[in-house]
Structure 1
Amino acid sequence: MPKDKDELEQFEEQEEEEVEESSEEYIQESAITAETPTNTPPSILIDVTYDGKAGKALLKLYDFINDRIYYWYDNTGHRPYLITDIPPEEVASKYRAVFRVKGFDHMDVVSKFDPLEMKQKTYTIIYAKDPLSIGGGRESIRDLLPRSWEARIKYHLSYIYDNGLIPGMFYRVENGKLTRVGVEVPGDIRKLGEELYAGDDEYLGAFREWLPLFQAPVPPLKRVAVDIEVYTPQENKIPNPREAMYEIIAIGLAGSDGLKRVLLLRRPGMEMNPDEVGMLLSSDVELMFFDSERDLLKEFFKEIMAYPILVTFNGDSFDLTYIYNRALKLGFRKEELPIVLTRDGEARYVLGVHIDLYKFFSIRAVEVYAFGGKYSGGEKTLDAIASALLGISKVEREKPIGELSYIELANYNFRDALLTLYLTTFNNELTMKLIVLLARISKTPLNDVSRYQVSAWIRNMVYFEHRRRGWLIPNKEDVINAKGGVTTKALIKNKKYAGAIVIEPVAGIYPSVYVLDFASLYPSIIKRWNLSYETVRCPDEKQANDPGNKPVPNLPHWVCTNMRGLTSLLVGLLRDMRVYVYKRLAKSEKDPQQKDYYNVVQAALKVFINASYGVFGAEIFPLYCPPLAELVTALGRLAITKTIVKALDLGLTPIYGDTDSLFLYNPDMGKLEELVNWVKEELGIDIELDKAYRILALSGRKKNYAGILQDGSVDMKGLVGKKRNTPDIAKEAVKDVVHLFSTIGGIGDVEKVTEAIKDRVKEYYLMIRNKDVPLDKLAIKMAVNKPISDYTKNTPQHVKAAELLSKYGVKVGPGDIIFFVKTSTKEGVKPVQLARIDEIDVDKYVEYLRTSLEQILDALGISFENIVGSRLM
């Protein structure tokens, strides 16, 4: 299981940007609509939104057989609402302003289970005609009451929860009524659950309920990938999409149905050379020329309306936002446009769904758990991700966009659109299937699931289950007040409590190292110990005083045994379905397509279960519960410690341990099997062989090692040379050293390869010291994020370089990419265009080389200083 940090660290860092819960919804300004029939064939639910003009929830259904989009507007009278514990008569007497809110509708009384107090209670439910009246303005109902619940949930999500809707599943409209289409589940798969949960009706019932979500096929979703090119008067100038000042000169369209088209704007002084037509990278790409930009956009809008899914890479921030604002400048009316911009910075596709792959592939959990970190460590650019996952790169260009010939422009533009499409089609449509399955698990529309971090998915999944059970969804402060804080002290700065255990590595180079991995350690702990925000430190005084209810003796936290925790049930179920059902089916299945599908299912499940602990320890999460997270890590430390003690008792030699894995040197295979069985029986946690290294080089650093697996592939942790601001010369050095390391065949090769690595590093050092390196390989690339004049308190290095450019008449502003080098001049930097090789600061680049290689060399026991001598700085 690839990890650079434990789950909590990931979510504390990644989830801080999540949008606060709000009942506010955008109002669709477009007049574009789809069919609204009273009867439809089975169709997949691709989106649930709120149509502000209609004042109703709007569902978008895609009939993939007949290739049609259907709209279904709520006809049940569902209204936005909030819940308060203030009785109706008290609301009427003390809070009469509620009735003066324009959108107020009516009140009612409802009974709900309070999971914090663990008892049924009576509440007042206040309905409104629109979401903004609940919680979208100064005079909203939420702001007029001292206490309320569920008032910050976006209306379209609340609608999903109340109606038990599952985005990504099949529905049909029958005489105007929306009904879910049943799914046939094979008997042998049903039997797996019956055997697994024999005697446990609650788990078995949940298994039967969830199974159709994974057994329902994911149909081919027709889609078109879009990429635009904008004329810029200056190279490296990224046009501001909100101002949309410059012409759109090309739009590339690549469809899953085979569409290959580039819309091109004719430009004065540029002619189409017939001899160039044969230079098209794809001979079947159709070029369409337009004399006016307005006509080009009109054709673009017509083209995309044939697709339910619109796919872009960074379309929210650039492509679609630019098209929208440019269209308005050209005289289009908002109601004519199939694109709507929201306050959250999203570009929505009115007819169907817009998926921004930049945002999806930037989701940390997707990167790590679904794609194994294959594109981690660098910029999340289309080129970087496509190169890592597809092995295909963008078309290189040596001229500004505005100077490209029509064919050069078409090649450059269409390749980007094609790469965007391929990112959804490779590996038998892995990405699209993954998005649909994540939507089903999380009960989140495709539009949202492709944009928000995993904490939002888990929140939606848990809220859905609260509503299904008739539970009150507590406010974050309610949970904190009821459960309290933590009692352990964090060893890592800025952390809130003691985290995972890391066994100090024993430095050296070892042959035959086996790594045992605790399969889903934290999810297994959550299931076994019944951990959930409501069960940890429950209000039952008898249980609080029962020593048997305290999983960790030195912690004051207890766990309820009277009821099964919601998180424990959900996490345990999803973990079991992955480990005992879909991983096994993926291994045993003979049909390649079905095998691929089972692998997508288990990948989707992996994303959820590995994130399940971290969110409860992240303050941004609405059900943030510090004692729950503290118990999970404490039980994890206990499990690993007991395993190490048992390994030593068996005569095994642990040389390193990291969060949920244990490295054993040259183990006896019989003893290894005995240890695995002991962990399963005594601790109730599955442990399995994860990796077997032919050679492993451990440094004295944590999370820093280099190994060659039994199949000859290289596995390294702790590489620094991937950072985006690292100059190419240092990245090339890292690549060369990794390649040399991969040539080690056995312990006898170590000395020879080590010497070769030293020689190669010395060569790079001398290249830099002798200034025998092209300037472009020394260049550092950074973007200017605001006007140069706004940098008043301090001036970053790339801004200093930009200021030097401006003296030569080059205008630099937000969005411009600056290529600069470190120099020994007064400013310390120079833009590449103005620099000379004799001006570079050699010591700064030697330091780049050292920091990029340091951790790899440490793992091999090589000192950078010993290679290059004492003269470093």
Structure 2
Amino acid sequence: MTSTVLNGFILTRHWRDAPAGTEIEYWLATDAGPIKVVLPSQTSVAFVATQHRSQVEAHLATMPGMEIRELALKTFHQEPVVGIYAKHFRQLGRLARALQAQSIPLLEADVRPHDRYLMERFITAGVLVEGGQSNGATIVDCRLKPAPEYRPALKVVSLDIETSQHEALYSIALDGLPDRVVFMLGEPPRESSEPDAPGEPMDFALIYCPTRKAIIEKLNDWFERNDPDVLIGWNVIQFDLRVLQKTANECGVPLLLGRERRPIEWRTHPGKQGYLFAPTPGRVIIDGIDALKAAVWSFPSFSLETVSQTLLGEGKAIGDDYDKMAEIERRYQEDKPALALYNIRDCELVLRIFDKAKLLQFVMERAQTTGLPADHFGGSIAAFSHHYLPRMHRLGYVAPSVGEIASKAYPGGYVMDSKPGFYDSVVVLDYKSLYPSIIRTFLVDPVGFVEGTHAADPATTVKGPQGTVFSREKHCLPEIVTTLWHARDEAKRVKNEPLSQALKLLMNSFAGVLGATDCRFFNPKLVSAITLRGHEMMKLTREFVEKRGYVAIYGDTDSIFIWLKRTHTNEEAHAIAATLARDINAWWTQTLREQHGLANFLEIEFDTHYKKFFMPTIRGSEVGSKKRYAGLGVDAKGKEEMVYRGLEMARSDWTPLARRFQEGLLSRIFHDEPYKEFVTDYADALLAGEMDELLVYRKRLRHRLDAYQVNVPPQVRAARVADDYNAQLGRPKQYQNGGWIRYVMTQSGPEPMENRQSRIDYEHYLAKQLQPIADALLQPMGESFMALTTAQQGLF
């Protein structure tokens, strides 16, 4: 056994109460391979107001292994606290429940040992391991320090399974490591056969297994032999791993995908029925859908086919869901090599999507940025706590409990009333990271609010909205934001896009966290101090712009849309916008210094020049809409781009017919091209049946089908027809628990694509899809859809 010094990156974390005390386990990826770090005999801590010490001591008399210590800490109510130190973490839970019955809060008792160990040492994901005793791949009783720059090369495997329509396992494919393989249920063919598709050689091992039990055993052996750090897939936890676990249970064999041949430690989501988490010792499991959503990618659908077509320009669909299942069944029965090829191609697509979108890098940078496990998506509250708690402790405070402040509504972002119509030369200025910059500039902070409220000298405070005051000297959040801000600037400088995105998302989450009732720091006054300051800033910015002779036609949270009042060349518009941004920033710097004695971290930037711009009215009124507009943007090099926000063109629940029509009509109007003939020809083509492929609605069923009783929208009616049809054919019902449905409107009502029987209701598409879009654009110009189409032919 030797002493060790090495860098590592935390893959998984775990704690357990052992006889000698709480034991913490971290699995690390290192340059020397995977390492398990074990920290035995860790003491857990929570806090209680000193005034309740006697009640706590009465409980501790029956709880050996716990003690009280004097501490120089206090609550947000300025009450001194004592520390409760426990040999076992679960003892704190039992004490918390006992004290709760007496209405005594045990503060921070819910912070898990492996998280507290890291946060109190300012460790997120990269660590420096010092000392301890190593025995093979295990290091015991060492010290961990931050190593924020360390990023190892990770071994990644992509996993995909194929099943029958009733989830009976047929095959498992594994790709991404040299040992590429498909484990297939059944006996090998008597004669060698190639997959059906020409030019598709079998560049992987196809191993036949006589039973499903044998497949699981082969899978366990593969993971032990190849030892990946990361397992990726598509819906890999909710489907693939769930089916594998179910299959293993039915076969009476363990599923051992963790390091040291350990099982998945399944957990259910407390708020989502049926949603599963799959913590796996030593390995990170990343679902491609979750990772894309966390990185704020957007697609009409997150199906593997849609995402791969969008990002890679290719896919491998073999029909709709039921055609696909029929083809999988045929290949399993008649051509297993072809099924194996289909299976492993899914793995390849997932690997290529991860590479194209830099998802693995994003996941690693997000873990390093937030302090959360790499496979923990969401978690803004936990990330805030990871950064905030240790800094708060060092300022002498302990955190309040969740729910200490009652829920109360607070103002959201500022949305300016719009001025609808068509415009030439509109420029958009945008405040860079508005809410983080407000936190930095005006020192908005939970501890700072407490300190400011109790400050004896007003000169040591900053006044905020609604009577809030913040300490100029004692705070945590402004420093956290500043550190992240500088890190993001550096990430952008070196073009580290995944890190820049992770830092941006974390910073921008802080205001929302302070307004989340599940956060221990929730306080409507705090979040209002941010949002209302944003309101004030946008109003002052509007005044500044209009004093310069321009018109603010719209504003939304951090952006202001400025009409330059006449047509300008692209160069002129860019120059005006740059001057406005420079002057606004200089005005903020002077105003904040002279009126508040504050440094300015507010920065407005030039975002876009719209050569042509359209702001619609609310449908059926003359009032300007909000969060809905379109524009013909032009960059500094003169490159044009059509931009749509909130219009039918940008919404997935409108038909392709509507989106294509709106795009074509707007483009013609913006480019001063004839548009009347386009409208009439489009309507003619619809009625002639030439656009039937564009008439499909795709909508989401957000609830179980049987939950729709009084209000039954078209998509629900279509789904019920579809599942009745599925039942008639002996197929599983597809929509009982929600999902996405594709349907068309017929003369008999909505009918699903699985079973369309009636003629298309073209009048519906004219009146409900084309006319609203057309009139919103034509009426400001004195035209109407009805006038144009009726003049052409009697459509109505």
Q: TM-score range by the shorter chain?
A: 0.7 to 0.9
| Residues 1:651 and 2:564 are matched in the alignment | no
Q: Are 1:264 and 2:181 an aligned pair?
A: no
Is the Cα–Cα contact under 8 Å of residues 226 and 251 in structure 1 kept in the other structure? yes
Matched residue type, 1:129: H
How far, CA to CA, are the matches of 2:307 and 2:293 in structure 1? 10
Deviations, residues 598-619 of structure 1 (Å, cap 9, x unaligned): x333222211222222221232
1:352 maps to what in 2?
283
CA distance in 2, matches of 1:669, 1:771: 43
**DSSP-derived class of the 1:499 partner:** coil
Amino acid at match of 2:632: I
Q: Secondary structure at the match of 1:534?
A: helix
* 1:248 corresponds to: 169
Q: Could you report, residue by residue, the CA deviation over 1:245-303 in whole angstroms, capped at 9, with x for unpaired residues?
A: x4211222221x455432222279x8877243664756523322222222222222222
Paired residues of 1:161 and 1:463 also in contact (CA < 8 A): yes
Two-structure CA RMSD over aligned residues (Å): 3.9
Instruction: Check 1:780–1:651 CA distance in 2 against 1; reply closer, same or farther (3 A cut).
Output: closer
SS of the aligned residue for 1:651 comes to coil
Residue in structure 1 matched with residue 584 of structure 2 by the alignment: 679
Tell me, in whole angstroms, the C-alpha distance in 2 between the residues paired with 1:291 and 1:515. Answer: 65
Match of 1:574 among 473, 479, 484: 484
How far 1:59 sits from its partner (Å)? 0.7
Counterpart among 24, 29, 52 of residue 62 in structure 1: 29
Is structure 2 residue 467 aligned with structure 1 residue 528?
Answer: no
SS at match of 1:535: helix
**Gaps in structure 2 of 5+ consecutive residues:** 134-139, 270-275, 589-599, 618-624
1:556 corresponds to which residue?
A: 467
1:297 aligns with 2:216: yes
2:351 alignment partner, SS class: helix
- Segments of structure 1 that go 5 or more residues without pairing to the other structure are 1-35, 184-212, 233-238, 240-245, 368-373, 486-495, 587-594
Question: Which residue of 163, 175, 196 maps to 1:230?
Answer: 163
Distance 1:648 1:521, change over 3 A: same
The answer to whether the aligner puts 1:452 opposite 2:412 as a matched pair is no
- Asked if the contact 1:694–1:708 (Cα under 8 Å) also holds between the matched residues in 2, the reply is yes
Q: CA deviation at 1:856?
A: 8.2
Cα distance between partner residues in 2 of 1:582 and 1:165: 19
Q: Secondary structure at the match of 2:733?
A: coil
Determine if contact 1:513/1:695 at 8 Å carries over to the other structure. yes
Q: 2:596 matched to which residue of 1?
A: none
- Identity, % of aligned pairs? 19
Structural mapping, 1:471-486, within 5 Å: 471-478=397-404, 480=405
- The separation in 2 between residues aligned to 1:475 and 1:572, in whole angstroms, is 27
Give the corresponding residue for 1:45: 10
Q: Which amino acid aligns with 2:278?
A: A
Which residue of the partner structure matches residue 298 of structure 2? 375
Letter in 2 for 1:252: A
Is 1:111 aligned to 2:71, yes or no? yes
2:336 pairs with 381, 384, 406, which one?
Answer: 406
Residues 513-561 of structure 1 deviation map (CA, whole Å, 9 limit, x = unaligned): 3221111122111111110123236464566978984244xx3222223
Q: Which amino acid aligns with 2:48?
A: T
Q: 1:61–1:142: structure 2 CA closer, same or farther, 3 Å change rule?
A: farther
- For 2:667 and 2:200, locate their aligned partners in 1 and report how far apart those are by CA, in whole Å: 35
Aligned residues: 729
Q: Given that residues 375 and 384 in structure 1 are in contact (C-alpha distance below 8 angstroms), is that contact kept between their aligned partners in structure 2?
A: no
Give the CA deviation at 1:330.
0.8
Assess, with a 3 A threshold, how the Cα gap between structure 1 residues 120 and 791 changes in structure 2: closer, same or farther. Answer: closer
Which amino acid letter does the alignment assign opposite residue 47 of structure 1?
A: T
Greater shift, 695-704 or 667-676, is seen at 667-676
Pairs within 5 Å for 1:601-750: 601-664=499-562, 665=564, 666=568, 671-683=576-588, 684=600, 685-700=602-617, 701-710=625-634, 711-720=639-648, 726=654, 730-735=655-660, 737-738=662-663, 741=666, 749-750=671-672
CA offsets 1:136-158 (integer angstroms, 9 cap, x no match): 79966766772211122334323
8 A Cα contact 1:646 1:675, kept in partner = no
Partner of 2:43: 79
Question: CA separation in 2, counterparts of 1:297 and 1:40?
Answer: 38
- How far is the alpha carbon of 1:226 from its aligned partner? 0.9
* Equivalent residue, structure 1, for 2:306: 384
Corresponding residue of 1:166? 124
SS at match of 2:110: coil
Asked whether the equivalents of residues 320 and 339 of structure 1 are also in contact (C-alpha less than 8 Å), the reply is no
Q: Please give the alpha-carbon distance, in whole angstroms, between the structure 1 residues aligned to 2:502 and 2:264.
A: 30
| Partner secondary structure for residue 438 of structure 2 | helix
Match of 2:430 in 1: 517
Secondary structure of 1:462's counterpart equals: helix
Q: How does 1:781-860 map to 2 (within 5 A)?
A: 796-797=716-717, 798-807=719-728, 809-812=730-733, 820-825=743-748, 828-838=749-759, 840-846=760-766, 849-850=769-770, 853=773, 857=777
| Cα pair 1:719 1:856 within 8 Å, conserved | no
Is the Cα contact below 8 Å between 1:698 and 1:704 reproduced in 2? yes
Q: Secondary structure at the match of 1:253?
A: strand
Residue in structure 2 matching 1:219, options 128, 152, 156: 152
1:21 counterpart residue number: none
What is the aligned counterpart of 1:330 among 248, 251, 275? 251
Residue matched to 1:758: 679
The equivalent of 1:202 in structure 2 is none
Amino acid at match of 1:582: A
In structure 2, the residue matched to 1:590 is none
TM value normalised by structure 2? 0.81
Structure with a larger share of its residues in strand: 2
1:463 to 2:463 alignment = no
- Provide the C-alpha distance between the structure 1 equivalents of 2:666 and 2:285, rounded to a whole number of angstroms: 44
How many angstroms does 1:333 deviate by?
3.5
Question: RCO (CA 8 Å, sep 6+): is it higher in 1 or 2?
Answer: 1
Aligned mates of 2:529, 2:750 — CA distance in 1: 50
Change (3 A) 1:167 1:108: same
Question: Whole-Å Cα distance in 2 between the matches of residues 869 and 547 of structure 1?
Answer: 72
Q: Secondary structure at the match of 2:648?
A: coil
Provide the C-alpha distance between the structure 2 equivalents of 1:282 and 1:559, rounded to a whole number of angstroms: 68
Quote how far apart the aligned CAs of 1:323 are.
Answer: 0.8
Normalised by the size of structure 1, how large is the TM-score?
0.74
The Cα of 1:865 is off from its aligned counterpart by 4.9
d(CA) in 1 for partners of 2:667, 2:206: 46
Aligned 8 A contact 1:721 1:853 in 2 = no
In 2, the alpha carbon distance for the partners of 1:37 and 1:145 equals 50
Question: CA separation of 1:812/1:353 partners in 2, compared to 1, >3 Å: closer, same or farther?
Answer: same
Residue 793 of structure 1: CA displacement? 7.6
Q: 3-state SS of the aligned residue for 2:247?
A: helix
**Native 8 Å contact 1:41 1:173 kept in 2:** no
What letter is aligned with 1:568? P
2:595 corresponds in structure 1 to none
Q: Secondary structure at the match of 1:502?
A: coil
Letter of the 2:366 counterpart: L
Letter of the aligned partner of 1:420 in structure 2? V
Per-residue deviation, 1:850: 4.2
Aligned 8 A contact 2:96 2:106 in 1: no
* Residue aligning to 2:235: 314
